[in-house]
Structure 1
Amino acid sequence: MTGTFWFLGGTVDVKLPAHDTDGRASVLEFTDPHDQSPPLHVHTREDEIWAVLDGEITFFVGDQEYDLGPGDVAFGPRGVPHSYRVRSESARMLATFAPAGIEEWFIRNGTPVTTLDQLPAHFDLNAAITTAAEYGLQVVGPPPTRTPKASDAVPAGTATPEEVRTWNRGIQDEFREGGGKVGGVFKGADMALLTTTGAKSGRPATTPITYYRDGDRILLVASNFGRDRHPAWYHNVRANPAATLEIGTETLTALATVTEGDERDRLFAHVVTLQPGYAEYQKNTDRLIPIVAFTIKEPS
């Protein structure tokens, strides 16, 4: 049986039922509102693959959390507790179950609909839970809550130095755990970890930062979130231009050059075309926001 069913506050569209695949797999499309999250549950008969079509969704699989957006995919193996929570205003995803069969549970407990204005006012979750065991489904806990991450936001202009340092450490952890990728407000951005030598302390200091390219050079913008003072890393590379950049899973040795005059203006204009927010940062401060170009040194 195919069709669209209202289920747990959203809709489930049975795209590919068991009889079309000889029971090998079924494909369902879920459309859910903001903050939708089913109870933590376990499938004992099938594996599950999620592919996000629209919106932002956090998937919980065992003790792991994955913040995914359009085009991202996650895997929920049978026997492992899992759930999800919609972070955006709404979201759509395709769920593939292998083997098929679980779609019959959604059909049994859902309400057939043809238009969204037909959605019922109430969903009987207890009835759905009561029938779950018949389909090898176990409810093992309440809907999970997403753990806040440093990448959910950037520090406010009023943030204290200690708050910024804490945020920096959180982004570094996300970067290294994600193999050089960071989500949240930085999802899709090119991120690097810049390690410089302290101008006064002489100790290494690491800063997460968005980077841009100008030919073979890596460009970093010393915006400091539009504050009236240069970031510490900028003072560090002026005193000691040697630095390292972690990009993806690589650690590169580089030499910094502070650009000036027409070159700085050209590069700043280039960066603004890629990230217009830097123009607002420049408006918010009297200092000229520097552009620092890093030349990667080839291994000797």
Structure 2
Amino acid sequence: MRWGERGLPPLDLLTHRLTKNRWMPSRMLSPTAVLRTTRRDGTPHLTPLIADQDTSGSFLVMATNFGRRHHPAWSCHLLRDPRAVIDWKGRSIPVHAHLLTPRQQDEARYRILAVMPVFDDYVRHSRRHIRVFSLTPAADSGDQ
């Protein structure tokens, strides 16, 4: 957990940029995407994270923050502005975020655990409700 939270995100972002969105080391362990949100000051914020795409094209992302006690910045950005872009397998897809209700999160539990088996460990360690978002491709979303 400690190595992952410090070393993997910078390494993922570097290889993501160098391979033009095509590969990251984290993908050897789990399906990983880069989420591009916007900070309050309007600057972009890029975050590698575990993602699961369903047959409709929507993504499921979990704001575990490696089990830390605070919510990750990207989840706060999505609550303020649900528009984002997800870089997935070499494509950039504009999306609209929806925070799952506790019931929706329970219904999606099998998907969450399928891509992130340590989810419950992160919940226990963080001692907080972990936000889970559905990212739906934007209606006007041709790939960017």
TM-score normalized with structure 1 length = 0.42
Cα RMSD between the aligned structures? 2.1
Q: Please say if residues 180 and 191 of structure 1, whose CA atoms lie closer than 8 Å, have aligned partners that are also in contact.
A: no
What are the Cα deviations for residues 137-191 of structure 1, in whole angstroms up to 9, with x where unaligned? xxxxxxxxxxxxxxxx412xxxxxxxx5x753331111233452223x5415221
Q: Secondary structure at the match of 1:230?
A: coil
- The answer to whether structure 1 residue 220 and structure 2 residue 52 are counterparts is no
Confirm whether residue 209 of structure 1 aligns to residue 42 of structure 2: no
The answer to whether the Cα contact below 8 Å between 2:53 and 2:59 also exists between their aligned partners in 1 is yes
Decide which structure has greater strand share.
1
1:231-274 CA-partner distances (Å, limit 9, x unpaired): 00000000000001111211111100001121012223421133
Name 2:4's counterpart in structure 1: 154
Which residue identity is paired with 2:41? S
229, 245, 251: which one pairs with 2:86? Answer: 245
2:106 pairs, out of 261, 265, 288, with: 265
Structure possessing the higher relative contact order (Cα contacts under 8 Å, 6 or more residues apart): 2
Larger radius of gyration: 1
Counterpart in 2 of 1:180?
22
Query: Which structure carries more helix by proportion?
Result: 2
Corresponding pairs, count: 137
Q: Match for 1:267: what amino acid?
A: A
Unmatched segments (≥5 aa) in structure 2? none
Cα contact 2:61–2:134 (8 A) shared by 1: yes
Indicate the residue corresponding to 1:13 in structure 2: none
Identical aligned pairs, as a percentage? 21
Structure 2 length-normalised TM: 0.83
Q: Structure 1: 5+ residue runs without aligned partners? A: 1-152, 156-163
